[in-house]
Structure 1
Amino acid sequence: MAKLGFFERQERARRNTTLLVFLFTAAVLLITLVVDLVGYLVTRNVEPTAHFGVWLTSEQGIFTSIAVVAVIGLGSLIRWIDLAGGGERVARMVGARLLDPSSQDPQERQLRNVVEEMAIASGVPVPDLYVMDNETAINAFVAGYSPGEAVMVVTHGTLTQLNRDELQGVVGHEFSHILNSDMRINVRLIALLAGILMIGQIGQFLLGSAGRRRSYSSRDNKSQGLAIGLGLALMLVGYIGLFFGRLIQAAISRQREMLADASSVQFTRNPEGIASALYRIGESSSYFQSTGHASDVNHMCFSETVRMRFAGWLASHPPLEDRINAIGPGLLARFRNRRRDDVRQARPTVEDDARGSLFRDGLQDMVAPLAGRHTTPVAPHTRLSDSAGVVTTANEEYAQQLLRQLPDNARTLLYTRTGAVQYCYSLIFHSMSAEEREQALSGIREARGVLGFDPALIERFYPTLEQLGEAIRLPALELAMPALRKLDPEERRGLEKVLTHLVRADGRVTLFEFALLSFIHRHLSPAGRRADKVRFRRFADVADSLGILLSLAARSATESPEEAQKCYTEAVAGFEGRTVDLGPLRDNVSSRALQEALIRLRALSPMLKPAIIDACGHCILRDNQVVVREYEILRLVADQLDCPMPPLPVAAV
């Protein structure tokens, strides 16, 4: 299988959405025809009709068709509205418990460590973690409408039966679904299948209702018999709907699961981890026992949640053996030859787990410490778009080192709502003088309750910011996102207002302050949960916005106006032509102009976005060094274009 980049995978996710709509429409049409046929057979003795085609265009046929489509549409709409809460709603639907960040349980802390390392390395916010305490099977899934509000749900069996390498393989698989834009279509699939199954549920209701009435009275046997016959027929239609639902799940899901397995190996550099997890499922089970929604989330999970017939056709996941053989042809035989009753190696302690290497290739810590590092050497000829949605060994090593250097007290504070809010304040106050802080604090009325200023807590973050420097600012903000997402809508809006006031208090907005506000708005506002619609498929449509962004990149990456002009000319050369003119280098770029430019560029087709990332990268990497100001431009652009960007690839020292 050809290796796909992040933007190609996004485009394929959009095509999968089109395929889903087509399959759903086809299923609705076929179910409607089957119900029409049932209606024709039931009523032809009452009102004789020449043949089915005539009945189909009669008043009864048209009414029946409209009623079936309405019932299916209503069922899908109800579930669609029910799932408007995104990943959090799906987690509650299956009875999962939100994982407490301060939990001292070694297995839960191990899960959080693995997830946080993967999140920092991949450049996406840390997802909220949930545990299905009553499920002993090995399984997991991610849900949500965007990476910024994703949740990861794991079963109790996943925590207790898998070692760290196996758990990491499962987490890497689920992060692939986040990076490949699979989550949104998975949640939509739940809603659409609910409508398809609605006809069968009505049949079950009619059958049960007729049976109960028959037990109390023997009158009107004819109508009861008709109700029973109709109920059985609709239940049969329900099974047909279930068949089509499974068929749609299989069409959408199977290939993505193989891609996610391959991506997990790519992320972790440890094929045996995920392969061993799959083998353990074969030894035990992945089927849910305690939730009534196992079938609803089957297509979202790491492995099958329910048993089914005709699994070769209708399963949402390829057979376990096929998945293991695809990862490594000799792995299955190796697992089978091992004694199944071998004593599993003792689990590492939490301290060892936090300090241990995530991979088996023995990489050492980076030579230079993070503290005081103002520039980062990068490999020559690096194409930043190739890093989108990819986790490398260097990224993981960087994330591990960063987490090891982050003090425990600061990390614990980031897991609380109050601590996360105060950390946001500290990012702004840290570079201010005492007089500037007093001026910034004046006139703020929204800062009450959890948003109130706590100088003691704010100052507790200063040593960390001074010790680790600018390198910790955005990664620590990503660690704080699960806690910030727990703010209620009014508190989220209040936080954004307070931060905006603090940033503008001195009459200027630095690039980092703009990035901070953009990140908060993108991941905490309702608008951030909505998928960006593709409105532009040519660079000519966004030429002015592209010129604004590249002007900022060129000026930030150079010291003199002459060098900025040269850098800008080089960056725009790949876009300009007979129909595209990005205009001259802009002397000044206001925060409003930059914000509007990024909004328009977000609406570009995913296949056009790599060129923008690489053009910004050309400016940033001209000297094969990245200063903090340049890195903040990179992360700002990547985040606003919905493109997870990991730490930069470090050149060999």
Structure 2
Amino acid sequence: MAAPSTHTMDFFERQDQARRSTRRLIAYFMLAVILIILSIYIAGITIFFGFNVNADPELPFQWWNPDLFLWITGATLCVVVIGSLYKIFALSKGGEVVARWLGGRLIDSSTSDPQERRLLNVVEEMAIASGTPVPSVFLLEEEKSINAFAAGFTPADAVIGVTRGTLQILSRDELQGVIAHEFSHILNGDMRLNIRLIGVLNGILVIAMIGYVILSGTRTSSSRKNGGGAAAILAFGAALLVIGYVGVFFGKLIKSAVSRQREFLADASAVQFTRDPDGIAGALKKIGGLAHGSRIQNPKAEEMSHLFFSDGKHGKASPFLSMRNRKPPVQTHSAFSFMATHPPLEMRIQRIDPSFDGTFPAVHFPSKKALETRDPKELAASAAQTAAKSAASAPSGGAPAVPLIPMIPQQMTQLFGKLTEAHLAYATLLLAGLPSRLTARVREPASARIIIFALLLSHDSKTRRAQFQLLNESKDPLVSSETTLEASTLIDRCPPEARLPLIDLALPALRTLSLSQYQDFTGLVEELMKADQKIDLFEFTLQHILRRHLDPHFNQTRPSAARYGSLTPLTHEISLLLSRLARAGQDGEEQAQQAFAQGVKELKGSRLKLSWLEQEDGFEALSKALDRLNRVTPLLKRRLLRACGVCVSHDDQVTLREGELLRAIADALDCPMPPFLPGQTLRSAEIPNSKSQIPNKIQH
């Protein structure tokens, strides 16, 4: 007997699987539309002859009527396609639309509310540890149940939403387990699939809605006049209503089957991320013991049911919870359990905690008085305990003065989309070690801009004077050379590897700017970068991160879909990318050409005719090249990123600056790359153990 496969899918294979799931969904959708067309045609031809509408009484019954079939086919396709595209287009603005539809309120990134601050801290830690931009977080204030969701097309426009019950009932470890589950959906490519499911079902639902409108209108008119025509229209409306809802029924079956499997994967990933099965298991158990369960009261909960952490429609507590020694089925689905978008609570918990006996603890939503009298120090103590736990589990030691990362590029791609306990501990300690004044400012919209400006200040005195003049001429009264220099002083007290996390931390605050403020901000960023008449690697990295994660929000641009199944049409873009990376990673032109040749060799199976670019194009050309390369399939991105790793590590080392550029390129390709951990070796794709060098304390 063959041994069972131990292969674990990496980030790119999971993304490719999600892409194949989307293709299967489209195939099912097309099959459903064909069946709907045939059903409407059969109903139409039967009603047409049955009620003898506008027909000769002597005309014999015929099943095949080409004109009627073409008319029904065209009308049905128009209705279904327009209905689907309308919904998908409405959701294309990102996860924020979904959050607001569900009644969410954007949590201010500088909030002083202890519970909201705890939630944002957990989200920030997860984002930095996974290499994704820090998402905006929404609170469903009217929902007393325990639930959460992640929504968006890509990590760039993703949002996290949680209910009031999640915020007020769960401990920090349980909250971390829930957020880790949602980050798994972000990393596994589930969000785009979920939104397309909403669009597909809406297109089919429109058929039923048209039938309902016909029925309503015909009943009114038929009360005033009788005739075969009115009866036929009434019957046809009823047929459309039935056919539409039958189509929706089978569409929901597909949605539920896809969703249930993704939920199991997200649960397992959350345990892997946190190494704390009690966290997510505890959250699921509290759902079972809470009277509100995981039910979402918002009327759009049914449409969005597959987005949630737990079943948002049927999740409710059993009436037998007050009875002792009972093991009630808390997640009370209907008899058609195959329609459920989530597996039963008991099954999910037992996969995480095999010792679970089915008994749920009694959980009550805290009273208003209890919430008002809750000591904020309790939440602070919880955060301190988490930091202590991270310090205990994280590798210790001091970071090297000039960080160098030994690298085997062929194994580098195992890190993408991979969030580990070590990365989470590293992110927690890094954030805890930042000066408190700096973290407070980076979360304020006005001062977050100043932090970005401070990151761009040059060490050259002449260039810095020119930058100070630009800052003092700014239209914003809060921006000046003095405030920027003060922020720069705080940044200088942080380790170099804190620069990218600071940019990520600023993103939620920067998203709250007005359009005019954002335009002034990006204009000043560009002027500060060009103050010395050149752009270095870090400046390009910073600008590209800002453009990639803020432009879609302010300019309402739609995310690009995979278009290229081959690298052949993109030879110039790949040549430009590898040439730029080779020069960035090597000191001399000869060494750079050798690094380029190694990168080309990594892509040898693609039969590409890549050429070394003697004249270096600007960073703007590189940015445009990355935009096109982002439209290749996930498995091609893996090969491309391996070639990039070869270029920057031709000397077997990667400096911090090169690592930042590599992570920016990965980010541009929608491939989140966790931070390199000091002491991490990629020769075996290992995460550092307790003897590796990760700073556990950053001097203030």
* TM-score where L is the length of structure 1: 0.88
Question: 1:218: how far off?
Answer: 6.2
Match of residue 320 from structure 1? 345
Structure 2 residues not aligned, in runs of 5+: 1-5, 315-332, 367-373, 680-690, 693-700
Question: 1:603: how far off?
Answer: 3.1
Alignment of 1:423-438 (within 5 A): 423-429=451-457, 431-433=459-461, 435-438=462-465
Question: 1:537: how far off?
Answer: 3.8
Question: 1:497: how far off?
Answer: 2.8
- Contact conserved, 2:169 with 2:365, CA < 8 A, in 1? no
Alignment of 1:59-98 (within 5 A): 59-98=67-106
* Cα 1:64/1:588, change in 2 over 3 Å: closer
For 2:421, the aligned partner's letter is: T
Question: 1:241: how far off?
Answer: 2.4
Looking at structure 2, the residues matched to 315 and 585 of structure 1 have their Cα atoms a distance apart, in angstroms, of: 56
Alignment of 1:588-627 (within 5 A): 588=616, 590-621=618-649, 626-627=654-655
Looking at structure 2, the residues matched to 81 and 553 of structure 1 have their Cα atoms a distance apart, in angstroms, of: 37
Question: 1:51: how far off?
Answer: 5.2
Match of residue 349 from structure 1? 378
- Contact conserved, 1:121 with 1:398, CA < 8 A, in 2? yes
Alignment of 1:399-438 (within 5 A): 399-429=427-457, 431-433=459-461, 435-438=462-465
Match of residue 296 from structure 1? 303
Cα deviation code 1:36-55 (max 9, x no counterpart) = 23323322131477556314
- Contact conserved, 1:417 with 1:486, CA < 8 A, in 2? yes
Pair 1:280 & 2:286 matched: yes
Question: 1:533: how far off?
Answer: 4.0
- Contact conserved, 2:442 with 2:448, CA < 8 A, in 1? yes
How many residues align? The count is 643
Does 596-605 or 153-162 show the bigger shift? 596-605
Match of residue 495 from structure 2? 469
Question: 1:119: how far off?
Answer: 0.2
- Contact conserved, 1:174 with 1:260, CA < 8 A, in 2? yes
Cα deviation code 1:191-224 (max 9, x no counterpart) = 221121112223333444456678xx66548777
* Cα 1:583/1:79, change in 2 over 3 Å: closer
Question: 1:395: how far off?
Answer: 1.0
Question: 1:624: how far off?
Answer: 6.4
Match of residue 396 from structure 2? 367
Question: 1:125: how far off?
Answer: 0.7
Task: Tell me the secondary structure at the aligned position of residue 461 of structure 1.
Answer: helix
* TM-score where L is the length of structure 2: 0.83
* 2:549 pairs with one of 520, 523, 537: 523
Alignment of 1:482-521 (within 5 A): 482-521=508-547
Looking at structure 2, the residues matched to 590 and 231 of structure 1 have their Cα atoms a distance apart, in angstroms, of: 62
* Cα 1:567/1:118, change in 2 over 3 Å: same
Does 120-129 or 568-577 show the bigger shift? 568-577
Task: Tell me the secondary structure at the aligned position of residue 149 of structure 2.
Answer: strand
- Contact conserved, 2:407 with 2:649, CA < 8 A, in 1? no
For 1:332, the aligned partner's letter is: F
Q: Percent identity?
A: 36
Structure 1 residues not aligned, in runs of 5+: none
- Contact conserved, 1:558 with 1:564, CA < 8 A, in 2? yes
Pair 1:40 & 2:45 matched: yes
Question: 1:625: how far off?
Answer: 5.2
* Cα 1:200/1:375, change in 2 over 3 Å: same
Looking at structure 2, the residues matched to 445 and 228 of structure 1 have their Cα atoms a distance apart, in angstroms, of: 72
* 1:198 pairs with one of 195, 198, 206: 206
* Cα 1:343/1:482, change in 2 over 3 Å: closer
Task: Tell me the secondary structure at the aligned position of residue 487 of structure 1.
Answer: coil
Question: 1:576: how far off?
Answer: 3.5
* Cα 1:466/1:287, change in 2 over 3 Å: closer
- Contact conserved, 1:20 with 1:252, CA < 8 A, in 2? no
* Cα 1:207/1:640, change in 2 over 3 Å: same
Match of residue 16 from structure 2? 11
Question: 1:521: how far off?
Answer: 1.6
Cα deviation code 1:45-74 (max 9, x no counterpart) = 31477556314x2x3343233333322233
Looking at structure 2, the residues matched to 83 and 338 of structure 1 have their Cα atoms a distance apart, in angstroms, of: 37
* 2:130 pairs with one of 101, 122, 131: 122
Question: 1:240: how far off?
Answer: 0.5
For 2:279, the aligned partner's letter is: G
Question: 1:477: how far off?
Answer: 0.6
Does 492-501 or 343-352 show the bigger shift? 343-352
Looking at structure 1, the residues matched to 471 and 498 of structure 2 have their Cα atoms a distance apart, in angstroms, of: 28
* Cα 1:84/1:381, change in 2 over 3 Å: closer
Does 308-317 or 110-119 show the bigger shift? 308-317
For 2:75, the aligned partner's letter is: A
* Cα 1:624/1:463, change in 2 over 3 Å: farther
Cα deviation code 1:273-328 (max 9, x no counterpart) = 22222232233355544311111111111122223645432222222233223334
* Cα 1:443/1:480, change in 2 over 3 Å: closer
Question: 1:154: how far off?
Answer: 1.0
Alignment of 1:442-457 (within 5 A): 447-449=474-476, 453-457=479-483
Looking at structure 2, the residues matched to 533 and 342 of structure 1 have their Cα atoms a distance apart, in angstroms, of: 45
Match of residue 414 from structure 2? 386
Question: 1:145: how far off?
Answer: 1.9
- Contact conserved, 1:375 with 1:625, CA < 8 A, in 2? no
- Contact conserved, 1:137 with 1:288, CA < 8 A, in 2? yes
- Contact conserved, 2:166 with 2:175, CA < 8 A, in 1? yes
Pair 1:188 & 2:196 matched: yes
- Contact conserved, 2:648 with 2:654, CA < 8 A, in 1? yes
Cα deviation code 1:233-258 (max 9, x no counterpart) = 33322320220220231243222222
Looking at structure 1, the residues matched to 376 and 161 of structure 2 have their Cα atoms a distance apart, in angstroms, of: 22
Does 608-617 or 106-115 show the bigger shift? 608-617
